[in-house]
Each structure stands twice: as structure tokens, then as C-alpha cells.
Amino acid sequence: MGAGKTSIGKKLSRRLDVPFVDSDRLVVRRHGPIADLFENHGEAHFRHVEHDAVVEALAVNGVVSLGGGAVLDHRTRASLTGLPVILLTVSAEAVESRLAGSARPLLQRGGIESWRTIAAERDPVYRALASVVFDTSHRPVSTVVDDIETWLDSERGTA
């Protein structure tokens, strides 16, 4: 949450000349605001529709930005097997200003302390899935995208 997945994903997709898909936006387009889904149907229902959106996004064969909790679903983790998974990290200090005034459902109670708790709980899952990790705390989007592109080239053997 707040690591820059959407900004970095969009810029990377333009560089690679492939589609960009944000799984959260697919959910919103089909089911309405995420906050409303959480409030009216609960997190379990949201995770179910989120998984469906991830499967659809992955079928596009482009850059996919997953919602921060998408990998909590074992089916979503299985869908990522064999794919390059890039983990974007961010420090609590850097993310605090990024999330100021956020309406994110999981932050409604507790603010940055909620973010810290969520980040700590999810970190082992993220790292287990990650092919590579890039920190975005104090780096421009373009620099992170450069680093990801270089890594992808090395993975494909084109560097």
C-alpha cells in the first residue's frame, strides 16, 4: 500500500509497449468502490472478486498491478507461479505522506500504525512470491522503472 504500484506499473508498461492492468480498477469497474465492497460484503467477498480480477488481468500478458492484499488468496498466489513478480517496498516514513487523506478501507482505523501492522503481516508472503524487490521510498518513479527494466532485460538475457 502506497509503494507506487500504479504509477510505476503505468510507466513500465509504456516503456515495454505492453498493456497495463490494475486489478483494483477492474474490481471497481465491475463491482463498485472497494470501500463499499468491504463495508457491505466484507473482506472475504472482496478477496473473491479480487481474485477473479487478477486472473483476468494476468490473461492480458502485460504489466499488472495487484492490490496490496491480493496475494492473501491462495488461488491468486498459485496464479502467479512462474511469472516475474516484482515487489515494491516503501518505508513507513515515506508512505505516511503518500497515504495522507486516504480512503483505503484497511486504513480507516489507525492510519500509519494500521499500515505498519498490515505491512508486517504481509511482508513474508510478499517476499516468498517476489522474484525481485525494489524499494521506492526515496527514489523517483523513472529511476525505479529503469531498474525494473534492466532487471527484466537480464532475466530475458537481453542485457
User: Is 108 within the bounds of a domain?
Assistant: yes
Domain total for the chain? Answer: 1
The residue segments making up the domain with residue 88 are: 5-154
Phi, psi angle pair for 41, to nearest 5°: -130, -10
Residues 54/77, Cβ–Cβ less than 8 Å: no
User: Is 76 within the bounds of a domain?
Assistant: yes
Model-wide pTM > 0.75: yes
Residues 69/122, Cβ–Cβ less than 8 Å: yes
Does residue 105 carry a pLDDT above 70? no
Q: Say which amino acid occupies 30.
A: R
Distances (CA, A) of 26 to 95, 101, 130: 24, 23, 23
**Each residue's pLDDT tens digit, 23-62:** 999 999 999 998 899 889 998 999 999 999 999 999 999 9
The rounded distance, in Å, linking the Cα atoms of 15 and 20 is: 11
User: Is 49 within the bounds of a domain?
Assistant: yes
- Summarize the confidence of residues 89-105 as an average pLDDT: 71
User: Is 95 within the bounds of a domain?
Assistant: yes
Q: Say which amino acid occupies 153.
A: D
User: Is 33 within the bounds of a domain?
Assistant: yes
